[in-house]
Amino acid sequence: MSGADMDRIRYQVMWDRLLSVVEEQAQTLMRTAFSTSSREAGDISAGVFDLHGQMLAQAVTGTPGHINSMARAVVHFLDVFPIHVMKDGDIYITNDPWKGTGHLHDFTVVTPTYRNGAMVALFACTSHVVDIGGVGMSPDGRQIYHEGLNVPIMPLAIEGEMNQWLLNLVRANVREPVQVEGDIYALAACNDTGARRLFAMMDEYGLDDLDALGRHIIEQSRTAITARINALPQGSWKHAMRIDGFEAPIDLVAELTISNGIIHVDYTGSSGTSDFGINCPMCYTEAYTAFGAKCVVAPEIPNNAGTLDAITVSAPDNTIVNAPHPCAVVARSTIGHMLPDVIFGCLHQALPDRVPAEGTSNLWNVKLGAGHGITKRTEHETTAFMLMSFHSGGAGARPRLDGLSATPYPSGVRNVPVEITEAITPIVVWRKELRTDSGGAGAQRGGLGQTMEITSREDAPFGIFASFERVLFPARGRDGAGAGATGRIRLASGKDLNNKGFQTIPAQERLIIEMPGGGGFGDPKARDPEAVAEDVRLGLVSPEAAARDYGVVEEDGEVD
């Protein structure tokens, strides 16, 4: 074996070790976080960067929106604080939507890491906080100024001393100061953990810096993804998808071009910006576009600057996918989470039988709140709270497998257990179950949505900050399959609620949330009758739907 071969093996071992370093960084954030969105759902990201702001490794734990947008964020920090002005013990922070991860509820923290007096890396992490002031997590705001406290890139700590003036400002502007401040400290702590583990790795392998390893990681990743892209059909394909929007339906239009080792996606033709908070900054559009393409083209190649540079994005200014300051952006995931479905629609034309049908895609997060100025005052004392609990509809069917039920693709967050929600708020979840017949019919059935029934233990109203999709326009099936069921938000007394915006749930009333299902894949009549019968026995498909959509009837244990 040659010396060059030995070097490649050594670099690969160190690369794998670096991935474990950032995974422990992420796990530290989850273990020390105060909010359920980080601690229970994993709505975070963590990674290590070279001194040019290029991401070398990311933790597996985290969401594509956070990871891929954070991957582009560190260069903005370096523009404000160049390497030569940083000092050991400094920590920097922002929640600027256009320089971070797309909305004010996400804090990004960057920590320069010094060893033997020299900077060797930058660690970065992101976490979604439960509140940032303003109108809350509702898209009712008309400008970024309505949506809460905007922290420009600034020091969180200077040479080891925390910026108490900044922390005072944050506490004074949020409804949950203990949770938010605790999450900021958790962000700083997780970067410290990453640094300590990196030092141990560098000691073990005798490294003075990460320069050579970083070049190897980026070059190998770039070479690998270029080969994958060049092996694909070359050309351009267009696809469009209409979704609910807020004040009017929204068209998402993409043209995907594969050429010379690059995948380029152009969103010309997409709808203009909204007057409400569903606009999507370009950083978040790039994040989910890259994720959607990479899921199909190179899912097993590690995510870093080398792979992300192979997927480029463009969009006209002032469109829903390239919203400028000061557009309201709190619910930017309304748009961002739908983009992989649009990308899949393009890639299905080039690569039949490789991509799934459309899914719910947009998270159906239960965002609730109560308190002075949020809900009506009552004669007796009630509990003020802000809650964000992650839940999901069904994913689209895959070419050879059914869609996953109640699964948050593409965001990747975990559901928050109802026991956690009930322990920290007055909320009670009376019912949480899969929604029969919500998955689109097909040779492969779409994933099912779920139904939740919610009320308060207290004799008091509470509010919902709704930002739901797939209520008007369902997830479409592919290749002759049926669409998933649309979602619905209503009161137990019968009144339908809007799919977006803040609304009050009266005292003693029950909120019922019926989440959409994913689209099916292939002709329903081609589905194995035994699989249909099993779906009926499990309560996933009703006998009526089995007969209507699949032509399958079960009588006396016999499947016809």
Q: Would 435 be classed as within a structural domain?
A: yes
The string of pLDDT tens digits covering residues 452-490 is 999 999 999 999 999 999 999 999 999 999 999 999 999
Considering 169, 190, 221, which residue would you say is the last residue of a domain?
221
Mean pLDDT computed over 366-375: 90
Q: Would 245 be classed as within a structural domain?
A: no
- Could you tell me the sign of the dihedral formed by the alpha carbons of 344, 348, 354, 359, in that order? positive
Q: Would 543 be classed as within a structural domain?
A: no
Q: Would 268 be classed as within a structural domain?
A: no
What is the three-state SS of 234-292?
CEEEEEEEEECCCCCCEEEEEEEEEECCEEEEECCCCCECCCCCCCCCHHHHHHHHHHH
Residue carrying structure tokens 């709190």: 330
- pLDDT over 90 at 526, yes or no: yes
Type of residue found at 511: L
Mean pLDDT computed over 29-38: 92
Count up the domains in the chain and report the number: 2
- pLDDT over 60 at 1, yes or no: no
Q: Render the burial of 71-101: b for 16+ CB within 10 Å, e for the rest.
A: bbbbebbbeebeeeebeeebbbbbbbbbbbb
Give the Cβ contact number of residue 525 at 10 Å: 14
pLDDT of residue 555: 73
The average confidence (pLDDT) of the chain is: 95
Considering 168, 193, 221, which residue would you say is the last residue of a domain?
221
The string of pLDDT tens digits covering residues 195-206 is 999 999 999 999
Q: Would 556 be classed as within a structural domain?
A: no
Q: Would 294 be classed as within a structural domain?
A: no
CB-based contacts of 251: which residues, under 8 Å, 6+ apart? 240, 241, 242, 269, 270, 271
Q: Return the percentage of the chain with pLDDT > 90, whole number.
A: 89
Q: pLDDT confidence of 4, banded at 50, 70, 90?
A: low
Q: Is 89 helix (H, G, I), strand (E, B) or coil?
A: coil
pLDDT of residue 41: 87
Q: Would 238 be classed as within a structural domain?
A: no
- pLDDT over 70 at 79, yes or no: yes
| Alpha carbons within 13 A on the beta-carbon side of 389 | 22
> Which DSSP state fits 316?
-
Q: Would 340 be classed as within a structural domain?
A: no
Mean pLDDT computed over 14-33: 96
Q: pLDDT confidence of 6, banded at 50, 70, 90?
A: low
The string of pLDDT tens digits covering residues 147-173 is 999 999 999 999 999 999 999 999 999
How many whole angstroms separate alpha carbon 463 and alpha carbon 491?
12
Q: pLDDT confidence of 125, banded at 50, 70, 90?
A: very high
pLDDT of residue 554: 74
The string of pLDDT tens digits covering residues 297-356 is 999 999 999 999 999 999 999 999 999 999 999 999 999 999 999 999 999 999 998 999
Of 153, 188, 186, 190, the residue nearest 59 (C-alpha): 190
- pLDDT over 70 at 374, yes or no: yes
The string of pLDDT tens digits covering residues 268-309 is 999 999 999 999 999 999 999 999 999 999 999 999 999 999
pLDDT of residue 546: 96
Domain, as residue range, for 403 = 362-527
The string of pLDDT tens digits covering residues 206-233 is 999 999 999 999 999 999 999 999 999 9
Q: pLDDT confidence of 381, banded at 50, 70, 90?
A: confident
Q: Cβ distance 417 to 40 under 8 Å? A: yes
β-pairing verdict for 366-370 and 385-389: antiparallel
Considering 158, 188, 221, which residue would you say is the last residue of a domain?
221
